[in-house]
Every structure is written in C-alpha cells, then in structure tokens.
Amino acid sequence: MVKMIEVAKLARVSPSTVSRVLSNSPYVSEETRQRVLEAVKLLEYKPNRLASNLRKMSSKTVVVVLPDITNPFFSKILQGLEDVARENGYHVLLGDTGNSLKLEKDFIDLVRERFVDGLILATARIRKEEILAISQEMPVVLACEYVEGYDIPTVSIDNISAARQATEHLINLGHQRIGFITGPLGVILSRDRLKGYRQALLLHEIPIEEALIQEGDFSVKSGYDIMMKFLAVNPPPTAVFASNDEMAVGAMKAIKHKGMRVPDDVAVIGFDDIPLCTLVEPELTTIAQPKYEIGIQAMEMLLKIIKGEMLVKRQIVLAHQLVVRESCGYNLYRQGGEVETNIHT
C-alpha cells in the first residue's frame, strides 16, 4: 500500500503539503499542486481513511437502526437517508436489529465507541429515558418512531390524525361496523393509530366494540388470521382498517378465501402505501406516508446536529395523504367528491 510519504518524496514536498493538496487547501501553489497530483496519480495513491478518521476523530459514517431491512417501508426510508448521507460525503452503516433489543443496544454503542458519528433510530425498543440520555450526549434523530413528552429530534407523520382520517373515510362511505387491526401495541405509533381510530368512531357517535379491535404484528399472516376472526363475529364488520398495508393485504386474502368480495362485502383500508398496494386486486386504498421524505429530512437533521448547527425545529411532522384506490369502493365517493384522491401509478 502506497503511503503519503512516498508521494511526498516523488513530488519533492513534505507530507503536509500532500495532505493539503488532497484536502483542497487553498494554501498551496498551483505548481506544487500539479506536481503532487501527478505523483498521486502515478503511484495510484489512496489516502488511508483509518488514519484520517483517527486524526479527525470522525468516520463520516452514520448508523441507521431499523427492525427489518426486507420491509419495504423501512427500505424506502433508508434510501432517503442514504441519499442525503452520500450527498454530504457520509456513509451509512446498516443496523438491522431484527427486533432484538440487544442488537439495538449494540448498534447504539457504535456511536459511543466513536465508530460512527451519529445515529438514526427507525425503531426504538429501548426505554424512553435511555433514548433521552443518548440524544443528549450524541447526535441522534428518531425517524417514524417518537417519544412522548421529550424533546428528542424527530421526523414522523401525525399518526393519530392519519388513522382518524382513514377511519372517517370508511365512515363516510357508510360503514358503521369497522374492524381495526392494530400494530404491535408496544410501539407508540401503533397506539397512536388506535387512538385515531377511536377518535373517529367517537366523533361520529359509533359505539366502539372491543371485539373489533385486534392486535397484529404487521405481517401479512397476522392480518389474515385476525380477519378470519372478524369474519367469525356475528354479524361481521363491513369494513376493516389495518395499521399497515401488509396486514391489509392479509385481510383481503382472508375475505376472498371466505368467498366474499372486496370491497363489496368488506371494504379494506391500509396504511403506509408500499408498492404492493397497486399490485393486489383490488388495489389497496391506504394512507400514504412520505417514506423517502422522512428519510431525507431525518438525515438532514442528523447532519446538522453532527455539524453542531442549531435546529430550528426539533420535531418535524410531515403530511400524510389518503390515497383512494379500489379496496373501499371509491365509486361511491366520486359522487360526493369531497375527499382528495390520488391514484398513484
């Protein structure tokens, strides 16, 4: 491996000067710069990042902690995060926890070990107090996740309003018995979506039936299983709201397996707006989260913190959007013409 000193010798300068040229310092004469650049080229010199990291006390790397990289929701957020990181000369270390608390802690420790300069948490199983403590001593931004009552930098949507809107969409279509498939209730955004569902029913004076609220785990299978339970209730719900799209698709499967039709017999609405929504039949109506944008903004926020800039806003709430497709029978809607429609292609 070629070292800087060898380049320096060939260019008849000191290593300091080589370093200056490579870091684009203005304090180098054009002539010297050229000589150094030639030597660099000739020797195919690549600076040793390990050394420069130590000296600068920064690896220009950020760890992104998420529960499952194969989940299209998170991979899209990750893409936004990575794009901004790259544009700013940062790298992303993958922190796939598989929902393991231990792994989550291990990845967080990478910041303490100065292996990475900052931390994005797109999942957070650890206790609130710990998150708060960490966020006070090192650069951290929560993406999607958030912590109530604390002032931790966060980028997310308003899950309560979004879930309320989804539920009201069904109510406006005339549904009174609406099943709700929650996400894991240990996760705050699952609890928020449940809140929104409850608010919508209350607002429209529809009684809440506990039998129509069941906890899923965000998997297709759990959506399927819970829908099967709903269909065994007498009478079954005429509509179902699932806390994410995978569970909604699972619910649709269950309805079809029972020989019923979506949306005619049961309307279905999901949450997130992943690509799958337009690939199933009927296409899934859902609440779109600006996944890529969440990633963008979360990384921009983190880089600001790393650079020591002050944050104007520490909590960013991005807009969600009801995307009306086919799974709730949107034809009815067209007549009212009251709700925004946005059929993605």
Partner DNA sequence: CTGAAAGCGCTTACAG
For DNA, the binding residues (CB under 7 A) are: 1, 3-5, 12-17, 19-20, 22-23, 26-29, 31-33, 47-48, 50-52, 54-57
- Strands, E, within the chain: which ranges? 61-66, 91-96, 118-121, 140-143, 154-157, 178-182, 213-215, 239-242, 267-269, 286-288, 315-318, 321-323
Cβ contact 90:33 at 8 Å:
no
Nearer to DNA, 13 or 77 (CB): 13
Q: What is the three-class DSSP state of 148? A: coil
Nearer to a copy of itself, 122 or 173 (CB): 122
Q: How far is the CB of 46 from DNA (least distance, A)?
A: 7
Window 209-228: residues binding a copy of itself (CB under 8 A): 220
Residue choice 249, 254, 267, 306 for contact with a copy of itself (CB under 8 A): 249
Nearer to a copy of itself, 141 or 277 (CB): 277
Q: How far is the CB of 42 from DNA (least distance, A)?
A: 15
Q: What is the DSSP string of 212-278?
A: GEEE--SSHHHHHHHHHHHHHSSSPPSEEEESSHHHHHHHHHHHHHTT--TTTT-EEE-SB--GGGG
Beta strands 321-323; 286-288: pairing state: antiparallel
Residue choice 280, 302, 303, 324 for contact with a copy of itself (CB under 8 A): 280
Q: For residue 179, which of 220, 221, 223 has the smallest C-alpha distance? A: 223
Task: Report helix angle 30-43 to 4-11, nearest 10.
Answer: 130
Q: How far is the CB of 113 from a copy of itself (least distance, A)?
A: 4
Name the strands in the sheet holding 239-242, side by side, starting at the edge strand that comes first in the sequence.
Answer: 213-215, 178-182, 239-242, 267-269
Residue 16 interacts with which of a copy of itself, DNA, none, CB < 5 to 8 Å by class: DNA
- Asked whether position 24 contacts a copy of itself by CB under 8 A, the answer is no
- Asked whether position 121 contacts a copy of itself by CB under 8 A, the answer is no
Residue 109 interacts with which of DNA, a copy of itself, none, CB < 5 to 8 Å by class: a copy of itself
Residues that bind a copy of itself in the complex, under the rule CB under 8 A? 1, 46-51, 53-54, 57, 59, 61, 64, 69-70, 72, 75-76, 78-79, 82, 86, 91-94, 96, 103, 109-110, 112-115, 220, 249, 253, 256, 275-276, 279-281
